[in-house]
Structure 1
Amino acid sequence: MSLQPIGVAVAGLGFGEKVHLPALQANPDLCPVALWHPRQERLDAATAAHGLKGFSDWDALLADPAVEAVIIATPPEPRFALARQALEAGKHLLLEKPIALHADQARELQRLAIARGVSVAVDYEYRAVPLFMQAERLLRAGVIGTPWLVKLDWLMSSRADPSRGWNWYSQASKGGGVIGALGTHAFDMLAWLVGPVASVTALNGVSICKRPDPQGGMAPVDAEDVALIQTRLQWQGSAETSVPAQINLASVARNGRGCWLEIYGSDGSLVLGSANQKDYVHGFELCCSRAGEQPQLIEPDPDLAFATTWSDGRIAPVARLQSWWAESIRSGMPMIPGLAEGVASRLACDQAAQTASGLA
């Protein structure tokens, strides 16, 4: 007997509507049943476009028996309160990242999810991208030996234009800044591929200190747009093998080189990168260099290929991660990446922000 698909509501109509919704529609184990947004006009337009129920009242959404699980893809600031209420209502969750503004909030969500016995996924979608999965296989197989040095440059130009308007991204208190946007991915990526983050120090900067306020005039910016981070990683979780790592993040790098991860080991090196700033999934290449051999481009193993692809490269890995989430809900097995990974990344992000501001 086939199981009925799991009813999922999507909260947030930016990334939620553009990426999560089409990914849901491609998954036979999941079914979008409702949308949530605090602004009624925006909600009405989305519900009309997609033929779904709409809610602007969060309690009413959670009370709907058709809603078994919720994807929270709002801006960072309201995410924690919405997630806590959803967990208290016994709903399974898929959270965008960062999962909360501070590690103590993330830990509270983790405790509550365990108490309620629900599955919580965190959208670290690079874990679902074929070439990243291939890199993980090569590292686990010992192709480059023991890592000696890790370097990640993620230099984007998305906010390099000073005329781009002021919004929540400009405010540290609302979860804005490059550490929350890119650092949360970077720390999870390195923890997954190499090993847990052991320590973090950072030097951050605000390059564009004012932006046009939609209400008129200029508004101050206090969220970092550059972060230079040094850390140590525990190779495969071993405290005896510490790997120095350097992470350079920027959202104001005009003509920036994009995302490039370099791992140098005792027997060779891996370089995984893309200069494509319009699509952060399409465009990656993986190069492996063994000691004494010429560099070789590596293709992902056939079993890692996406079953379905979209012109927007973000949708396919999110769809894959959603399928892992559905499997976790069905089986009761822990979700990876989930709240344990979300807490670890949030801790590292907090350290990066605190050391840079002299609070550590």
Structure 2
Amino acid sequence: MRKARIAIVGVGLAATPHALALNDLRDEVEVVGVLGRSRERLESFARQYDFPLGESFEAMLKDPGVDAILVLTPPHTHLDLVLQAAAAGKHVLLEKPLDISTQRAERLVQVCRNADVRLGVVFQNRFRPAVQRLAALVQDGSLGPLAYAGLDLRWWRPQSYYDEPGRGTYARDGGGVLMTQAIHSLDLLTWLAGDVSSVTGATATTLSHAMEAEDFASAALRFESGAAGYVLATTAAFPGFPERIELVGQKGTAVLEGGALRVTFQDGSTDEFHDSSSSGFGAKPMAFSHTTHRDLIRDFCAAIREGREPAIVGDDALRVQRLIERITLRHGDPS
């Protein structure tokens, strides 16, 4: 099996689990170069994970041996980088969100489609064993038609987290808790419960943080299936708690809390499943295993080899980003 050859752009906070995952996959994937804005951080990162330094982004794009670009830079940079990668015929694996606005995100997805390059999005939580078990129960009808579905994400970030320049701003991140933290769980909610037909949302910046965007959001939802729903998301809940997704069906109720799944059926039977997943819900954002990143990257590389779509594509991320826009009532392109 030929190794997939990937170049990395960005060595910030999100890069660590990707690097650990790529080292696990050395028999399947070759990292051909790493680029970053800070030379000191870049060299330290490359030494730590034994990755070669890249010459330049332009050189990566011109190298016929590079199959794909792994983009780990801040959201406001994504569109420009993906435009260049797609024009060069490179597949793209992109950290969430797609970009800072739905308009820019839609353009990004369309550009990859027009160029016939694969676009994968890093929603790694779909690869959690407990999530996959829950998805199987939904897909085989074990829960029955859903009455309602809800997401409760009560995380904590200290003010020092938001003191990093640009963090929690619309210009760099596109928003706050919804775009940066809850987006993963919103992806799971819409993947499991389906598209949303109506939204009544509210957002706020609490007294816990000095930041531009929201650190609190809530919404009442109606899904296209007719099921009701709700969202509550915050980074102001000290010391932070595992996120909770609840699916209430006509045959049973499933509660996924972190990596713990409990299903109670109306016939009296139960099903419990636990994995070691965590989400960095407290003061340490990267306090979670890299194994789901490994599984996501393996699937993306297999998609390149097999000429198929990866498990999570641009349209999946667009669905979540459109929902966030409807909750926050932020429309249009801020650029």
- Please indicate the TM-score interval, normalised by the length of the shorter structure: 0.7 to 0.9
Q: How does 1:205-244 map to 2 (within 5 A)?
A: 205-208=204-207, 211=210, 221-234=211-224, 241-244=225-228
Q: Which runs of 5+ in 1 are unaligned?
A: 212-220, 235-240, 275-283, 301-310
Contact 2:150–2:230 at 8 Å: present in 1 too?
A: yes
Shift of 1:267: 1.4
Q: How does 1:295-310 map to 2 (within 5 A)?
A: 295-298=270-273
> What do you get for the CA RMSD once the two structures are aligned?
2.4
Shift of 1:41: 2.2
State which of 261, 266, 269 in structure 2 corresponds to 1:291: 266
Percent identity over the alignment is: 23
AA at the equivalent of 2:197 = A
CA offsets, 1:97-129, max 9 Å, x none?
111111121221222112221111101111110
Distance 1:153 1:85 in 2: 38
Classify the secondary structure of the residue corresponding to 2:20: helix
CA offsets, 1:184-220, max 9 Å, x none?
2233211211212223331101114864xxxxxxxxx
Aligned twin of 2:124: 125
Contact 1:183–1:349 at 8 Å: present in 2 too?
A: no
Aligned twin of 1:307: none
CA offsets, 1:273-310, max 9 Å, x none?
03xxxxxxxxx21101111526442358xxxxxxxxxx
Contact 2:203–2:218 at 8 Å: present in 1 too?
A: yes
Q: How does 1:128-277 map to 2 (within 5 A)?
A: 128-159=127-158, 161=159, 165-175=163-173, 176-208=175-207, 211=210, 221-234=211-224, 241-274=225-258
Aligned twin of 2:318: 343
Contact 2:151–2:246 at 8 Å: present in 1 too?
A: yes
Classify the secondary structure of the residue corresponding to 2:53: strand
Distance 1:259 1:46, change over 3 A: same
CA offsets, 1:51-103, max 9 Å, x none?
43324742233223342211111121212211221111111111111111111
Aligned twin of 1:24: 22
Classify the secondary structure of the residue corresponding to 2:322: helix
Shift of 1:224: 0.4
AA at the equivalent of 1:109 = L
Distance 2:322 2:161 in 1: 33
Q: Which runs of 5+ in 2 are unaligned?
A: 276-285
Count of aligned residue pairs for this structure pair: 320
Shift of 1:183: 3.3
Shift of 1:317: 0.7
Shift of 1:269: 0.2
Aligned twin of 1:317: 292
Distance 1:42 1:163 in 2: 18
- Structure 1-normalised TM-score? 0.82
Distance 2:185 2:105 in 1: 18
Aligned twin of 2:115: 116
Aligned twin of 1:11: 9
Distance 2:289 2:222 in 1: 29
Distance 2:329 2:63 in 1: 41
Distance 1:326 1:164, change over 3 A: closer
Contact 1:151–1:263 at 8 Å: present in 2 too?
A: yes
Distance 1:200 1:125 in 2: 26
Classify the secondary structure of the residue corresponding to 1:227: strand
Contact 1:162–1:208 at 8 Å: present in 2 too?
A: no
Moved more, 86-95 or 193-202: 193-202
Aligned twin of 1:280: none
Distance 1:89 1:250, change over 3 A: same
Contact 2:201–2:219 at 8 Å: present in 1 too?
A: yes
- Structure 2-normalised TM-score? 0.88
Shift of 1:25: 2.1
Q: How does 1:37-76 map to 2 (within 5 A)?
A: 37-55=36-54, 57-76=56-75
